[in-house]
Amino acid sequence: MSDGEGHHVDKKSLRKVQGPGKDFRELAGDVVCFANGVGGVLRLGIEDGEDEPPPDQRIAAALVETVRKRVHELTVNAQAVPEVVKAPNGGEYIALRVARAVGVASTSDGKYFMRVGDTCRPVLGDDVLRLANERPSTPWEVMTGLGIARDRADAEEVASLLGRLRASDRVKESVKEKTDDELLVHYGLVLDGVLTHLGVLLVSHPEDRARLGTAPAVQAIKYDERGTKVAKHVWDDHTLSPVDLVDDVWKTVPDFRESYEIPEGLFRTNIPAYEEEVVRELLVNALVHRPYTQRGDIFLNLRPDQLEVVNVGRLPLGVTPSNILHVTRRRNDGLARVFHDLGLMEREGSGYDLMYDRLLSSGKTVPEVREQGDAVHVVVPRRVLHPKVVRLMDDVDREHRLQQRERIVVGLLAPTEGMSAKELAKRLELDDPSQVASWLSRLLEVGVVEQTGKTRATRYFVAPRLLRGVGLDRKTTLERIEPHRLRALIVEDLARYPGSSSTDIQRRAAPEVPLRTLRRALTELMADGKVGAEGERRWRRYSLAPAIGQSPSGGRKDGR
């Protein structure tokens, strides 16, 4: 039917608005949440975990009017319109459509809320001022303070931008059919015959962009190993719109075309020092999400081992370095819309997914995001730390056609001895370790990832056979080897060589592990019913349990 709960949709039981359990103040808080975000829909009459209302559910007209009235009484600067919707199964529910607030919305008793992912969170203390600053009554993009008439726009810039929009497969045909002037109005570049700030930024002359005072300037600075500046490129004359800046920065900085040559048998693979998609995504993020009410250049600091992008302003309220993979809040809706329709940015909230995917697939680490002072710093690595991961990712992706989130999981696990559900959830920026199941389910099903242990002791790791296939089954020291990894090596060895002694297993599977440690692992596998044994002491031989039907009765079970 409709979308599930998320950034723009929420479901509530009908008990919230009728009967003894009704709570219109809680509903008012949910409305304020959406109003302080980008708007959304509250579906009243659909229970959690369900996609549709009960088939026999009917909504009385009086209840719809009560919802409208109470929401209006209990909120300030929030607009919500209820209507009855009939679901495909015949049941009815109330769709409470909440508009994005102009300015800041609150409840009538002075409480502020905002939507972060699929939860409603209160805004407290200094963050109330941040919310007010980020949500002015008139957004910066639609202001017309410079008073520049539409006729004074740069004709070449207009023709270039509108031509690219009409050629984009992301723009509807009905939009492409609009006249030039209609398109400029449609994208918020012109209002009442005057260029908006967004219009000045995208289609006006350099001198007009300079008058804005906050039009973006970019500095790319290269440093050597001692931290000395050795090269610099600057874009501060405002001759390029933000759309054209992305292309020009990418083409101008020579470091972006350097690569590493990774030996692969008789062949060699070239891996870019900086993947083009990653660099472009970083630049687009910096341009689209910066607060245009603040002055400050965008810095690209190129160091021997990393690229650091520094952008003015803090992360949008509700977005933190620890949830940026899943939560997004647009500061500049109009600019984001233009960039998206031009194909210069991914859909909302997927930019960091793309960067994680590209970096991990090329044997690098994930981007580091931090707030420092009144600026956001994003660091991506230059060097390939795990070259053999590149081949692993390529082989697995070719065989199983992995989804983006699955490539991210494999890229995180491959260089490690495995991770617990809690550790993996932290790396994936998930609040609840149980959420990793949706990322892992198919990987476990096709055998790319394996697991050991139960509940909190569950650990996940890339299948040893895949690691061996690309030479990632490096020898591990006693201090670093994980118990689950040792057990997995034993099981794999016995699958190939049933009826083996403990010393034979050690010699083939884990020569660096003390024999007593390997025997302890064998005992654990026998206790789990995965391995059986025949014989006593030095004549004892081990096989996988299915090969002998069942574990033998009697005899010692000390792994000897």
Last residue of a domain, one of 119, 134, 149: 134
- Give the pLDDT score at 507: 84
* Structural domain count of the chain: 5
> Mean of the pLDDT values across residues 424-449?
90
Flag whether 487 is in a domain. yes
Residue type, 115: R
What is the DSSP secondary structure assignment for residue 149, as one 8-state letter? Answer: B
Residues 110 and 151 in one domain: no
Residues 265 and 311 in one domain: yes
Phi, psi (rounded to 5 degrees) for 142: -95, 0
538 versus 13: the higher-pLDDT residue is 13
116 versus 444: the higher-pLDDT residue is 444
CATH number of the domain where residue 396 is located: 1.10.10.10
Residues 48 and 449: their CA atoms lie apart, in Å, by 31
Q: Which range among 97-111, 167-181, 205-219, 311-325 shows the weakest confidence by mean pLDDT?
A: 311-325
User: In 3D, which of 459, 282, 442 has the Cα closest to residue 359?
Assistant: 282
Flag whether 62 is in a domain. yes
Cβ burial of 189 (10 Å; 0-12, 13-18, 19+) is: buried
Flag whether 560 is in a domain. no
Give the pLDDT confidence of 11-47 residue by residue, as tens digits: 999 988 988 878 899 999 999 999 988 788 999 999 8
Residues 436 and 349: their CA atoms lie apart, in Å, by 19
CATH number of the domain where residue 93 is located: 3.30.950.30
Residues 329 and 400 in one domain: no
Q: Is 215 left (phi over 0), alpha (psi -120 to 50) or beta?
A: beta
Residues 263 and 366 in one domain: yes
Residues 197 and 275 in one domain: no
pLDDT band at 119 (very low <50, low <70, confident <90, very high): confident
pLDDT band at 283 (very low <50, low <70, confident <90, very high): very high
202 versus 20: the higher-pLDDT residue is 202
Residues 174 and 45 in one domain: no
Residues 398 and 376 in one domain: no
User: In 3D, which of 130, 126, 115 has the Cα closest to residue 313?
Assistant: 130
496 versus 341: the higher-pLDDT residue is 341
CA 291 to chain centre: 21
Residues 97 and 150 in one domain: no
Identify the residue whose tokens are 């410079």: 146
Flag whether 296 is in a domain. yes
Structure tokens at 379: 């660091």
Please state, rounded to an integer, the average pLDDT across all residues of the chain.
Answer: 87
Flag whether 559 is in a domain. no
Flag whether 242 is in a domain. yes
277, 285 Cβ separation under 8 angstroms? no
CB-based contacts of 62: which residues, under 8 Å, 6+ apart? none
* % of the chain beyond a pLDDT of 90: 57
* % of the chain beyond a pLDDT of 70: 92
Residues 48 and 59: their CA atoms lie apart, in Å, by 18
pLDDT band at 447 (very low <50, low <70, confident <90, very high): very high
Give the pLDDT confidence of 221-271 residue by residue, as tens digits: 999 999 999 999 999 999 999 999 999 999 999 999 998 887 665 556 788
- Give the pLDDT score at 320: 82
Residues 226 and 318 in one domain: yes
Residues 128 and 17 in one domain: yes
Flag whether 254 is in a domain. yes
User: What is the model's pTM?
Assistant: 0.71
Structure tokens at 540: 């004892």
Residue 7 has pLDDT above 80, yes or no: no
DSSP state letters, 183-246: HHHHTTSEETTEE-HHHHHHHS-HHHHHHHS----EEEEEE-TTS-EEEEEEE-S--S-HHHHH
Residue 549 has pLDDT above 50, yes or no: no
Flag whether 555 is in a domain. no
Burial call 388-424: b when 16+ CB within 10 Å, e when fewer: bbbbbbeebbeebebeebbbbbbbbbbbbebbbbebb
Range of the domain at 452: 387-469
Residue type, 100: R
Residues 349 and 455 in one domain: no
Residue 5 has pLDDT above 60, yes or no: no
156 versus 319: the higher-pLDDT residue is 156
pLDDT band at 347 (very low <50, low <70, confident <90, very high): low
- Give the pLDDT score at 474: 53
DSSP state letters, 431-459: SSGGGHHHHHHHHHHHTSEEEES-GGG-E
Structure tokens at 556: 């010692």
> Mean of the pLDDT values across residues 92-116?
90
- Give the pLDDT score at 479: 41
Residue 108 has pLDDT above 80, yes or no: yes
